[in-house]
Amino acid sequence: MGKKICFVGMDNYPVLNPEMGDRYFGGESVQQTLLAKAFLANGYEVSTVVKDYGQPQGEMIDGIRVWKTFRDAAGVPIMRFFYPRLTSVLNALKKADADIYYHSCAGILAGVLAWFCRRHEKKFVFRLAHDTDCIPGQLLIRLWRDRKLYEYGLRRADLIVAQGVRQVALLEGNYGLRSIPVNMIVEVPDDTGHQRRDIDILWINNLRQFKRPELAVELARAMADRNITMIGGPARGSEDLFARVKAEAESVPNLSFLGAVPYHKVNDYIGRAKVFVNTSDSEGFPNSFLQAWVRRVPVISFFDPDGIIEQHRLGAVPANFQDMVDKVGEMLNSDDVREVVAERCRGFVLRNYSPQVIAKTYEELFSAVLNE
């Protein structure tokens, strides 16, 4: 297997280029960009395929070649699926000329990549990004056509990577497909043990219904003696939810609603937090958990990926909303307890999620699976 890898993620550019950091991106854009940098450090020739943000074709950013595809609004509805979207994606994939194409998130691109890689004798690696990627009836894909293209690609991937053992079981049970769990990757900052902690409670997520952002507003109301900061922009199709939550948040005096914050700046807020909360009813494995733990911030979340919060004592998993209020209060009321948990969090991440560890794991997988 050669050492040319291409990361295909339409929203990767705002993470890779800080000047575009105010544009929409999701957690998988962060993961792909961090992985790209890790593979670059290991001697790979790395490229990425992204949307057209007005950048030059073939731009080089920090050693990573960037191939652009289409602009969001370009083309005539219905017809634009083929032109300019499909045609520009295929053109960019050809320009990348990689040995391995890596993509994540359920959607039509999985099908496009599977077809392209088979036609051109390349290898396609797909990473599950959310538990619903493994459940046919819960796919976060609106159109029947797009669901079928996704499933076509899923069944033809040369390697499927899962975020944890729960996804492995779900994919096997629902699709009869084998996947291999690989930990996510985190950008490791300088030691932050003595950083100023002036944010009691921090919530970060793109605002979508299953993230339940309204519960963060309720948490602020229930804990009026504590300050809480919310960070997150409107996800596509959820603009009304964003507007409603923003209006509610502005009526709560101890709540600061900041809206979207670029990836390159959001870590500063995490480093200032005492406790990180997550109110989602389902997730994959949030990048924000790793970003918090590596900065010594305990996580209190209803969702616990593969049970690691409880198993490794990295925060708390409340049973309901009142239990969350109680557990957040307990963590904030004892500096000594919180500091013990904080040290445990950073050590856990450094041992299991550092770029060196994860890149090596992928390389071993590529050698074992893709060269079969």
- Which architecture, in CATH terms, is 4-185+354-370? 3-Layer(aba) Sandwich (3.40)
Task: Please report the pLDDT score of residue 193 as a whole number.
Answer: 55
Q: What digits encode the pLDDT tens for the residues 215-272?
A: 999 999 999 999 999 999 887 778 898 999 899 999 999 999 999 898 878 999 999 9
Q: Which residue has the tokens 């991937």?
A: 157
CATH number of 199-352: 3.40.50.2000
Mean pLDDT to the nearest integer, 340-364:
92
91 burial via Cβ count (<10 Å: 0-12, 13-18, 19+): middle
Handedness of CA 117, 122, 123, 126 (dihedral sign): negative
Mean pLDDT to the nearest integer, 157-161:
96
Here the tokens at position 250 are: 């502005």
Task: Please report the pLDDT score of residue 133 as a whole number.
Answer: 95
How many percent of the chain have pLDDT more than 90?
73
pTM value is 0.80
How many percent of the chain have pLDDT more than 70?
98
Cα 93 from Cα 77, distance rounded (Å): 23
Cα 24 from Cα 183, distance rounded (Å): 24
Mean pLDDT to the nearest integer, 26-48:
92
Same CATH fold assignment for domains 4-185+354-370 and 199-352: yes
Each domain of the chain, given as residue ranges in start order, spans 4-185+354-370, 199-352
State the average pLDDT for the chain.
92
323 three-class SS: helix
Q: Cis peptide before 234, with omega less than 30 degrees from 0?
A: no
At residue 169, does pLDDT exceed 80? yes
Here the tokens at position 59 are: 């731009």
- Among 158, 24, 168, smallest CA distance to 102 is for 158
